[in-house]
Structure 1
Amino acid sequence: MNDFIPDPIRQGIARGWRIVDAARIEADQTLEADVVIVGSGAGGGVTAEILALAGLKVVIVEEGALRSSNDFKMREADAYPSLYQESAARQTLDKGIKILQGRTVGGSTTVNWTSSFRTPPSTLDYWRTRFGLDGFDAEAMAPWFETMEARLHIGDWQAAPNENNALLKRGADKLGIPSGLIRRNVNGCWNLGYCGMGCPTNAKQSMLVTTIPSALDHGALLVTRARAERFAIKGEDVEELLCTGLQADGVAPNGRLLRLRAKHFVVAGGAINSPALLLRSNAPDPHALLGKRTFLHPTLISAGIFPQRVDAYAGAPQTVYSDHFLHTAPIDGPLGYKLEAPPLHPVLLSTTMNGFGADHAAMMRQFPHIQGMLALLRDGFHEASPGGSVQLKDGAAVLDYPLNDFLWDGARRALLTMAEIQFAAGASAVRPAHESARAYTSWNEAQRAIAELPQALHMTRVASAHVMGGCTMAGDARLGVVAPNGRYRELANLSVHDGSLFPTSIGANPQLSIYGLTARLASGLAEDLTGQPAPRPGA
């Protein structure tokens, strides 16, 4: 199939893009630029394009490899080791939460499911009142969201929802629960459903096929398979970034050192990796805030078994949602949750659901008839929901995210809600992702059983694909290490441009929030560094 689809990465390389693959260099190197950007995901990609369009000499450094549509074979066995952090097996310190994050050029935008939501106004209001982020209300952010929506073809999905998503709407409608349709960042989508393995048709408007190519066409240099180890700091300035070259596997060091020097540095490695880099660098942190307040939208899973085929792997992965249970309590009250339907693929399903031996095999034989539902808990708005903290373990990043009774209360309510919706949609059985759960054949049975399930570490299956916080942006230095202009407060030539800036989780899939926020911050940075108005992304 890929032989008939133009490959913008191969075309760009043929045009003369400047790329250094650190896995292939034979000696240490020193590179210089106006700006070095660490990370090529949502924050780094947007920043790279804006700064390159402004005429600045930009270097983008990425730990993962450069892949393209010709590498995306729609196979989990290929995608997870090559495109995800820790082969899609990243976990919290206590192994209580499985975390999916991208690790490739384009970051998580290359492997996400294209769901695009603006930051909810209630979240922005909370940031203003609790973290002093004046001027970041919905009205002020709207032009930046509009800019990035136009740049990345974010719009309503025209096709009908696949059966996996239609069942969420059908069950919600029957119970009188309002739902909505999810906007997607796609252009010419083939409706395949394999977005999480890299888009083989280049329809997904990820950083891999939009902002990174634009930046490279405007003279930026891309460094791949290079691990950002630490900043060399002198006084209030970062002097250089020290990176380790990696072997072809993208994991083991190859013994080569890269020194990246610049007038300004931008950290955009994503929550977990960004605070970890600053921690390894011993960045000044007078209020001990770095790495704290890291949030996940801890996610609960429910599998509904239906008489008809669902084929949850086929078709646009996420097109229906419900925010009803985000609005049934105050934002700083008991944990609310967003409902969505995830795509299901064999490895993802089999490693997420509980069960062993014959029981697990029997469940997997029902794979074509399984509908998946997710509940994303909105963490960070209550004193009992402080999030986690990024720590270093032998220099590597790890997230400690304790699970407490406040969270378990939200988990139980979410599991009950999902089971009720699935039965209302016509499920013959519902199986919550919990070690003690089995397939329940009626809502009454499920209601009684879920009410009694012990909500505890390693019992309830919890996952996340949304990592936020750790480098909190706030109006007050006592609340955040980053100022409202994106500058790291204690270092004159360092900015942070990614989801680690969020003071809380946001209660929505975060990519558009990162796009809009970093477009604003990068435009301000471009004006500061050049003295000229910032160009519009995509110009």
Structure 2
Amino acid sequence: MIVDPIKEGLARGWQHIDGAALDAPLELEADVVIVGTGAGGGTAAEILTQAGLKVVMLEAGPLRSSSHFVMEERVAYPDLYQQSAAMKTRDGAIGMLQGRSVGGSTTVNWTTSIRTPVNTLNHWAQHHEIAGLSRAELDPWFERAEQRLNIHPWPVPPNRNNDVLAKGCEALGWEYTVIRRNVKGCANLGYCGMGCPINAKQSMLVSTIPAALDGGATLLSRTEAWKLVQQGDQVTALECRTRDPNHQRREVTVTVRARHYLLCGGALHSPALLLRSEVPNPYGLVGQRTFLHPSLLSVADFEAPVSAHAGAPQSVYSDQFVWPESGLGFKLEVAPLHPVLTATKVPGFGATHADLMARFNHVQGTIALVRDGFSEESQGGVMTLDNQGDPVLDYPLNEAFWDAARRAHLAMAEAQFAAGAKRVLTVDDELPWWSSWAEAKAGIANLRMAPRKTTVASAHIMGGCAMSDNPALGVVNSLGQHHQLTNLSVMDGSMLPTSLGANPQLTLYGIVGRNATLLAQRLTGRA
């Protein structure tokens, strides 16, 4: 029998308020109010609560647990993802996956845990005036997070989907690495993106948030932070809106007053809150330089079954092309393929699409994550507000990106053929199936790639409230403190001044662990 830690905690008296159930306005007071319960918010909540501070956590999505995770895309996507996993950039050219429930994206991510690359941290120090975030300084915080969340190299042989990447790299002499995963008692099911039904994934949902609630924190679900009220250089209150079970906004409000306000709503929603609140923004940086790791997909058809839906979703990656001498680099990983995700990401109609889906158990998916934000030709996107006050992202796909996309598709196809693929599909509206590496090499070199024609997606949204110790370059400093408002901090993916060249969750665990600990010391006056 699977024990549900959320049900057990609620039964023993956790302070949880479902905004959908409120029938009158609510006012609360706290030492710290945390907006968002993902990698940043969950990490900070445990640290601040353990320091003896009174903490209120706000989450716009619902509180779900293993009792709700039924491993069906039709249920998981509407319940656990922003916009039912169909969110896109303004022009529709890039699909974006982001969690929306207690635990945020850590509840639905694929468990890949990678320390921030040294090259990335060095770039931040040199070009963004960020101090204190070298690997030597961060490694103790990474080690702490790895121990807390049971992060270790995946000891099980890779599933066939990941093994294709490993075998292709081996055949070509390319570098590849076994991924470290935040799991404990994992049954190798392969459905991490729909919530872990056995609580093996050590997400914030089953680790730090229960610890914070056991320590006396209060959790409000279906409660959306809407506006920061300010007076002088201080935030004096946070006004919130509640949501109903269908995620629609309600008239019932919640107001929280705190000593300190901590934004951990993610790289779209933290900047959106600052823009709605009209906080001081003297250099116009809020919402600017938003990065995605815009990713390409290559599908390969194999004679033997691949069953890319089964087994640990990601257990192998390759950094062979992350740091090229020129142009944008890209990281090679694989993507688990489930029916709805596959059917919606691969273009085509009618018989063509049906033929591909008929080969579903024989297809493998390799992805290339483009490392954006490290050069003048890669400035990322700009997040603004629509007429409802919700975030919308403009992310232009320029020639520098398409150059990287072409190189990425060539690399993916070469690896897939080297691993024994019968044919390879460059995921593009033209649906070009290549029957050999020679054909793919010639065809991809001449394929016209363009927005909304070539499939581009992202599960990593970063930036928009960038760190820098220079107020002219960043919204917050390297400790996450807002440069103009003394009792406001940002500790989530929005604080990253570029993308990472690595999956972001462990970066956030480490940096937020450090910054939240220092915040706790400032607020309590003790180490």
TM-score by length of 1: 0.97
Shift of 1:327: 3.0
1:109 has 2:106 as partner = yes
1:462 has 2:459 as partner = no
Q: 1:228 touches 1:244 (CA, 8 Å); kept in 2?
A: yes
1:199 has 2:196 as partner = yes
* Distance of 1:485 and 1:25 partners within structure 2: 36
Matched residue, 1:536:
none
Letter of the structure 1 residue corresponding to residue 351 of structure 2: A
The equivalent position to 1:152 in structure 2, one of 149, 153, 157, is 149
Matched residue, 1:479:
473
Q: RMSD between aligned alpha carbons?
A: 0.7
* Distance of 2:431 and 2:58 partners within structure 1: 45
* Distance of 2:486 and 2:413 partners within structure 1: 52
Letter of the structure 1 residue corresponding to residue 511 of structure 2: L
1:132 has 2:129 as partner = yes
Letter of the structure 2 residue corresponding to residue 176 of structure 1: G
Matched residue, 2:228:
231
Shift of 1:436: 1.4
The equivalent position to 1:500 in structure 2, one of 483, 494, 497, is 494
* Distance of 1:464 and 1:334 partners within structure 2: 20
Shift of 1:156: 1.1
Shift of 1:488: 0.7
Instruction: Give the % identical residues.
Output: 54
Shift of 1:134: 2.1
Shift of 1:97: 0.3
Any idea what the Cα deviations from partners look like across 1:428-459, whole Å, max 9, x if unmatched? 01001111132211111111111111121111
* Distance of 1:510 and 1:224 partners within structure 2: 24
The equivalent position to 1:275 in structure 2, one of 271, 274, 290, is 271
Shift of 1:235: 1.4
1:265 has 2:261 as partner = yes
Shift of 1:411: 0.3
Q: Secondary structure at the match of 2:351?
A: helix
Matched residue, 2:318:
322
Letter of the structure 2 residue corresponding to residue 497 of structure 1: M
Q: Secondary structure at the match of 2:433?
A: coil
* Distance of 1:220 and 1:432 partners within structure 2: 49
Matched residue, 1:306:
302
Q: Secondary structure at the match of 1:385?
A: coil
Q: Secondary structure at the match of 1:143?
A: helix
Q: What residue ranges of structure 2 are gaps of 5+ in the alignment?
A: none
How many pairs were matched up?
Answer: 526
Matched residue, 1:72:
69
The equivalent position to 1:208 in structure 2, one of 205, 208, 225, is 205
Q: Secondary structure at the match of 1:178?
A: coil
Matched residue, 1:418:
412
The equivalent position to 1:384 in structure 2, one of 374, 377, 383, is 377
Letter of the structure 1 residue corresponding to residue 140 of structure 2: P
Which deviates further from its counterpart, 228-237 or 159-168? 228-237
Matched residue, 1:143:
140
The equivalent position to 1:396 in structure 2, one of 380, 390, 395, is 390
* Distance of 2:229 and 2:131 partners within structure 1: 33
Shift of 1:254: 2.1
Matched residue, 2:18:
21
TM-score by length of 2: 0.99
Q: Secondary structure at the match of 1:231?
A: strand
Shift of 1:306: 0.3
Matched residue, 1:182:
179
Shift of 1:328: 3.2
Q: 2:132 touches 2:478 (CA, 8 Å); kept in 1?
A: no
Matched residue, 1:407:
401
Matched residue, 1:529:
523
Letter of the structure 2 residue corresponding to residue 423 of structure 1: F
Q: 1:32 touches 1:261 (CA, 8 Å); kept in 2?
A: yes
Matched residue, 2:85:
88
Q: Runs of at least 4 residues of structure 1 off by over 3 A? A: none
* Distance of 2:132 and 2:204 partners within structure 1: 27
* Distance of 1:25 and 1:272 partners within structure 2: 26
Q: 1:437 touches 1:453 (CA, 8 Å); kept in 2?
A: no
Shift of 1:355: 1.1
Any idea what the Cα deviations from partners look like across 1:151-195, whole Å, max 9, x if unmatched? 000001111000000011111111111111000000010000000
Q: Secondary structure at the match of 1:228?
A: strand
